Structure 1
Amino acid sequence: MKKWFYTGLSCLLVMVVQGQETALHGIVRDKSSGETLAGATVVAGTQKAITGRDGRFTFGRTEFPVSVIVSMIGFKADTLLVNDGSKALYINLSTNSGVLSDVVVTGTMKAVQKMASPVPVEVYTPQFFRRNPTPSIFDALQQVNGVRPQLNCNICNTGDIHINGLEGPYTMVLIDGMPIVSSLSSVYGLSGIPNSLVERIEVVKGPASSLYGSEAIGGLINVITKNPAKAPLVSIDLSSTTWNEYNIDAAVKFKPSKKVTSLLGVNYFNYTHPYDKNGDGFTDVTLQNRISAFNKYAFQRREGRVANIALRYVYEDRWGGDMRWNKSFRGGDSLYAESIYTSRIELIGNYQLPVKEKLLFSYSFNSHTQRSVYGTTAYNAGQQVGFGQLTWDKTLGNHDLLAGAVFRYTYYDDNTPATLDQAGYTNKPERTALPGVLLQDEISLNGGHTLLLGARWDYHPVHGNIFTPRGAWKYTIGPNDVLRLNAGTGFRVVNLFTEDHAALTGARKVVIEGELKPERSYNVNLNYVKKIYTPGFWINIDASLWYTHFTNRILPDYSNPDEIRYSNLRGYSISQGGSVNAEFGFTNSLRGHVGVTRQDVTIVEKDASGVKERKQQLLTEKWSGNWSLSYTLPRGGWVMDYTGNIYGPMDLPLLSNTDPRSPRSPVWSIQNIQLTKKLGHGVEIYGGIKNLLNWTPARNAPFLIARSHDPFDKNVQYGPGQPIPNPVPGQPDIPTTVVLQTPENPYGLTFDPNYVYAPNQGIRGFLGVRWTLN
């Protein structure tokens, strides 16, 4: 009897053991997009596996319960306890990468997986920008390949964003998909957005007017703010530099009611200690006192319908100029300075209509007031822009449709000739209503092919009907290879932003030649994305080639020292080139990215004899590169970051043939290093050195500001010069004068602060602390 008892007990134990030692299998996916992840590391007890191309992993006999650890560079590791292997595991990892994230909305106005988007979109998260922390998004974009913040004045340090060599007016800036920047505010729109509220920044290079209309002729920068429901409870970032710059960035989440969640962010930047390290008697960096507040509300509605509204206010007082200047000299001709007061209000929101169909109404409004003085020249301006857009999103079989109606109203007024009537005596503010409709069809075809067809029609009260079509083709070669071909058109209805420093600092007369026609562009872009995963490292490669042809470009003519002339280009302009981005990571916690851009922006115009002349666009580099390297130490919570960028030579604006400054910039590079210590409980301390090479443009020039000792040209002597041909038929030539070369003025120059291509700020240390409470 005992024999049978022990035999039966042994069989039962074997059955139990066999039940606990079964196979374990599953799939690892990206939590945000649902895409399977190849190359993820899965550890179950003493066993280890790497997921295949389809994200799958399999273990043999496994003893349960078992702790499973899943990790992948660029994603947050996940640990879970598995009690049995009867069902497949579906493990979703959250992204932790700074570059090439996997959800985008800008390319098609829809939230789609980045690899699935037929339009190439680059995505950058706050983790990427924290490798080189900056007080504004404007400064942070210097880390993005092919995007360069360009300073336009040595004194007031205002600037714009260049994408693939194209100037600021060709770049549209959006917050949560709504346009916030047009002519007047393009200089200041990217300053004062609290970094603590930014979820990610999406960049589209190339015309996007078929979706976003005027100003989207060269590219888009879309600042996506955090969803209040998913944001941390509190986040604070305090920093300062050895140049006495102080920055405070804070955000707090709260619930005004059960179904409403709010996120309030505040940014304050203060730099009020002037430096003159290049010895020209003028401030090297503009002094700024800026405060910005951003409040976003998310409403919980039935059936998950969307409703958000946000309000932002920015006020800034900045000045640069003579080191002895104070506000009592504002507007006078004793000491020169450029003083700018800016006040800006923005309203942004969207509301999904309570109907069966997916109808989304999005809207924005901004009011921008500016009071500026450039020496004795006052520039006072106001602008209000209202924008509304209703879109219908519908899927029919293999067709993903998007249709919309849009309307934009712009009011603009200033104290310059740009807003005078044709007689030049009566003020006539610009009031422009711009309605339009758009239609887009994304067609899923067999064999991994996707075709996107889109078009937009706008009606301008002066220029009439404006039609902008586009098309895109995407071929998914495999789960880690995508090829895209995009072609389209863009347009820009010119709203002369007359805060042109060459005009204001020189008190030039603004002359508009004839009726300015809308600028047009025709673009083709080829993009290839390759992802490589191995047990030891991963790399994502994003490469593009582009060609853009412009007609009717508006180019200023400074040949007459007393005036600035705006007219349509009597020829065409070309922007062409290629870029490569590579993001990589190793299992030893080393990660980074490298980007290289080669570009050529050429202007082709006929001279007086009808012969075509080719010239390079001013302040446009032929090549550039940037990089970042981050290494997480195995112990102690230390992270090291090394970032930098490098720019090739560019043509610079000179005053005359006798100007002794170089007509081309040298190769220059800004490099930075940072060390971060994570202390736990959401606290981290960071510090480092910016501009390690202590490079400034003053190194290679006899002077940057021409005649800084005589900013009002009181000692400049003029003599008769050759008449300049007037392009208006039937009118006599306009006589002009030339600046004489005298012992006091040996180069024959006038005051000019526009010889600028890089920051004047040298080496400096920085220190900061962050705290996040989830």
Structure 2
Amino acid sequence: MRQTLLVGILLLPTFSAQAYVDDDTEVDPVVVTATRTAETAEETLASVTVVTREDIERRQARSVPDALRGIPGLAITNNGGAGKTTSFFLRGTESDHVLVLIDGVKVGSATLGTTAFQNLPIGAVERIEVVRGPRSSLYGSEAIGGVIQIFTRKGGGDLRPRFTVGAGTHGTTNVSGGLSAGGERGWIDVGASYEDTNGFNSCDGQVSPGAGCYVDQPDDDGFRSKSTSARMGYRFTDWIEADLHWLRSDGEVEYDGSATAGDESKDRQQVLGGRIRLTPTGAWTSTITAGRAWDESRVYYDGSFLSAIETERDSLSWQNDIALGISHLVTLGVDYQRDQVDGTLAYDEDERDNTGVFGQYLGGFGAHDVQLSLRYDDNEQFGDYTTGTAAWGYSFANGLRLTASYGTAFKAPSFNELYYPGYGNPGLDPEESQSVELGVAGRLAAARWSLNLYQTDIDDLIAYDATLWGPNNIDSARIRGLEAVVATEVRDWAIEANLTLLDPENRSDGANDGNRLARRPEQTFELDLDRSFGPIGVGGTLFVAGRSFDDAANAVRLDGYTLVDLRAEYAFSPTLRVQGRVENLFDEDYETADWYNQPGRVFYLTLRYEL
């Protein structure tokens, strides 16, 4: 299984999606996030889902959360429509327990500890890798539930322009375009997009405590965004290659708020990164990566400015991959990260840095595969922390594969939890976890399937402590889950289905002991069907979510719901097609967060051109 490691090392620096070939031969996608080195999806010992550009366009996804909805183990909540706060809960862990990378650069708000997925432009995305399970032993803080890495369009090949225009319900319009090109040694892609929607009333709140958004503003809450992106690279020699990428997204969102919380925010996310890859010998690849991520937000009420917050995250990494034969790979590296906060609030501390040193071994011994990784982090605020992962796989001659893994992880407290004026607690310790996972995967006739069973125990969870009037390490949780995935083809219908069963139990002392963790459905199921009839393509998605609760006391229940989406397209030529999508066909009334509305039946029409 590890005989492709040397090939993988050569593929790694390009972060290419060239593994997706549209022909009669099935090619397993290459992933880099699970081990920070290139492997095929079937080869890696982690649970991984890859969303390609082809998947995004086939499903006519209109946002990053839309593209990721229904992935095994991933629950998504939204506070009232496009552009509103959107949270990801990966394998039942907290929304700030998922590490997010864009082209290898760590992004997110240093104050909130989360990433504004709703503001990321879907038109700039080439593919998304979702790794489920702890990855702190490779990436450090936040990767308790897993890692989500977004890769922007790379470019290459002949000059290829692209253009998309769409319109739909709630006065929604969007337009995007770009240009991709490349030669024998270089590549470039540039793109831009704009979206505008009138939206709908985001929250059915009341002017009373505990009533959702605590206000009554029954108006439409719109969203407007514009983005630009660029990525370019050049291979100077056979052993020196450089890559540069930039992404900027500006959003303006209206919401139901108040004179203290505001009712409009103008947000900007930006990431700039570069990488130099050196291959001094055929067995040694050295990669230096540097980047900066900005997260900025300005809040207004009735057009008047209220507050602003800006965070910056600088990162620098040096990684060395050393192949020992064709079946063994050793990775050694060091990461540096510096977070800084600025704005209208005065934090007691407004910057901190973290240095992490990590090592990994990937080995193949006949039918056995092994992954061992260890990391040491030295953080200016909380001191040092050590995490590790051990994984094993065994492949039978009939294609059946067994896997088992154990990993530890941690999450450093955010600046808000530590230093928010009048609220923060600088004595907080990191949240920490231990996870174990068992998996089996194989093929049956034309079907690919997998089953994964896992348990994660989290200690020192940060929650509000009434005795301190602020956050404290007082909670703990035990999360058990089962993920089942199958993909096949029946009578020219491509069929993909997955089921997640989740038992997210609060294990804290006190009245909430034994309750369900908030906003995690106990069951989710998705079924995708697609088929082509010459130039016509049709498909549909069935998504089912079980009940969840909106609060730790489990006093507020969110009912389960079922959504049906239908889609169709017609290709006038290989470069021009028109697409139509109906979401929530049966106009289901549901909520993913209490009081916050979700769209009813909506329709969108899109025209796509790509040379």
Above 0.5 in TM-score? yes
2:215 maps to 1:286: no
Deviation for aligned residue 1:337: 5.3
SS across alignment from 1:143: coil
Match of 2:530 in 1: 630
1:232–1:772 CA contact under 8 A, matched in 2: no
Of the three residues 579, 586, 606, the one matched with 1:686 is 579
1:135–1:269 CA contact under 8 A, matched in 2: no
SS across alignment from 2:521: coil
Paired amino acid for 2:568: L
Match of 2:209 in 1: none
Deviation for aligned residue 1:490: 0.5
Match of 2:211 in 1: none
2:296–2:310 CA contact under 8 A, matched in 1: yes
| Structure 1: distance between partners of 2:470 and 2:605 | 47
Unaligned runs of 5+ in 1: 1-29, 35-73, 79-92, 96-100, 323-330, 421-427, 504-508, 699-703, 705-753
Deviation for aligned residue 1:224: 2.2
| Structure 2: distance between partners of 1:496 and 1:755 | 27
Match of 1:460 in 2: 379
2:100–2:108 CA contact under 8 A, matched in 1: yes
Higher normalized strand content (fraction of residues): 2
| Structure 1: distance between partners of 2:413 and 2:278 | 34
SS across alignment from 2:336: strand
Distance verdict in 2 for CA 1:768–1:569, change over 3 Å: same
2:393–2:404 CA contact under 8 A, matched in 1: yes
2:236 maps to 1:339: no
Of the three residues 538, 550, 564, the one matched with 1:640 is 538
Distance verdict in 2 for CA 1:682–1:156, change over 3 Å: closer
Match of 1:582 in 2: 486
2:516–2:549 CA contact under 8 A, matched in 1: yes
1:171–1:221 CA contact under 8 A, matched in 2: yes
Deviation for aligned residue 1:597: 0.4
| Structure 2: distance between partners of 1:130 and 1:497 | 38
Paired amino acid for 1:435: T
| Structure 1: distance between partners of 2:576 and 2:532 | 16
Aligned-pair identity (%): 19
1:487-498 correspondence to structure 2 within 5 Å: 487-497=406-416
Count of residue pairs brought into register by the alignment: 582
| Structure 2: distance between partners of 1:119 and 1:653 | 31
**TM-score (normalised: structure 1):** 0.69
Of the three residues 596, 599, 604, the one matched with 1:766 is 604
| Structure 1: distance between partners of 2:485 and 2:610 | 31
Deviation for aligned residue 1:132: 3.2
1:187-202 correspondence to structure 2 within 5 Å: 189-202=116-129
| Structure 2: distance between partners of 1:619 and 1:510 | 28
Distance verdict in 2 for CA 1:304–1:408, change over 3 Å: same
Deviation for aligned residue 1:520: 0.5
Match of 1:161 in 2: 88
Deviation for aligned residue 1:675: 1.1
Distance verdict in 2 for CA 1:359–1:226, change over 3 Å: same
1:242–1:766 CA contact under 8 A, matched in 2: yes
Deviation for aligned residue 1:564: 5.9
Deviation for aligned residue 1:212: 0.9
SS across alignment from 2:138: helix
2:484 maps to 1:556: no
Match of 2:471 in 1: 566
Match of 1:76 in 2: 22
| Structure 2: distance between partners of 1:543 and 1:384 | 40
Paired amino acid for 1:764: V
Match of 1:208 in 2: 135
Match of 1:403 in 2: 332
Deviation digits for residues 241-260 of structure 1, max 9, x if unmatched?
A: 121111223221246x9854
1:327-726 correspondence to structure 2 within 5 Å: 332=259, 338-353=263-278, 355-356=280-281, 357-373=284-300, 378-397=306-325, 398-416=327-345, 420=347, 428-446=348-366, 448-478=367-397, 480-497=399-416, 510-513=422-425, 515-533=427-445, 538-557=446-465, 565-569=470-474, 572-586=476-490, 588-607=491-510, 613-633=513-533, 635=534, 637-653=535-551, 663-697=556-590
Deviation for aligned residue 1:388: 0.7
168-177 vs 510-519, greater mean Cα deviation: 510-519
Distance verdict in 2 for CA 1:273–1:649, change over 3 Å: closer
2:74 maps to 1:170: no
Deviation for aligned residue 1:165: 2.0
| Structure 2: distance between partners of 1:461 and 1:488 | 24
Deviation digits for residues 218-256 of structure 1, max 9, x if unmatched?
A: 11111123332258712222221121111223221246x
Distance verdict in 2 for CA 1:523–1:365, change over 3 Å: same
| Structure 2: distance between partners of 1:613 and 1:344 | 38
Deviation digits for residues 285-327 of structure 1, max 9, x if unmatched?
A: 63111111110011122115431100111111111238xxxxx
SS across alignment from 1:478: coil
| Structure 1: distance between partners of 2:128 and 2:81 | 28
Distance verdict in 2 for CA 1:495–1:285, change over 3 Å: farther
Deviation digits for residues 688-727 of structure 1, max 9, x if unmatched?
A: 31111212237xxxxx9xxxxxxxxxxxxxxxxxxxxxxx
1:156–1:339 CA contact under 8 A, matched in 2: no
Distance verdict in 2 for CA 1:616–1:143, change over 3 Å: closer
Deviation digits for residues 492-516 of structure 1, max 9, x if unmatched?
A: 11114479xxx9xxxxx85345610
Larger Rg: 1
Distance verdict in 2 for CA 1:371–1:638, change over 3 Å: same
SS across alignment from 2:531: strand
Distance verdict in 2 for CA 1:487–1:756, change over 3 Å: farther
1:234–1:772 CA contact under 8 A, matched in 2: yes
2:521–2:545 CA contact under 8 A, matched in 1: yes
SS across alignment from 2:108: coil
Deviation for aligned residue 1:278: 7.1
2:205–2:595 CA contact under 8 A, matched in 1: no
Match of 1:733 in 2: none
1:514–1:567 CA contact under 8 A, matched in 2: no
Deviation for aligned residue 1:368: 2.1
Of the three residues 264, 271, 275, the one matched with 2:197 is 271
Paired amino acid for 1:605: S
1:722-733 correspondence to structure 2 within 5 Å: none
Deviation for aligned residue 1:155: 11
1:266–1:292 CA contact under 8 A, matched in 2: yes
Deviation for aligned residue 1:549: 0.7
Distance verdict in 2 for CA 1:102–1:232, change over 3 Å: farther
Paired amino acid for 2:508: E
280-289 vs 391-400, greater mean Cα deviation: 280-289
614-623 vs 230-239, greater mean Cα deviation: 230-239
Larger RCO of the pair (alpha carbons < 8 Å, separation 6+): 2
Paired amino acid for 1:601: P
1:595–1:627 CA contact under 8 A, matched in 2: yes
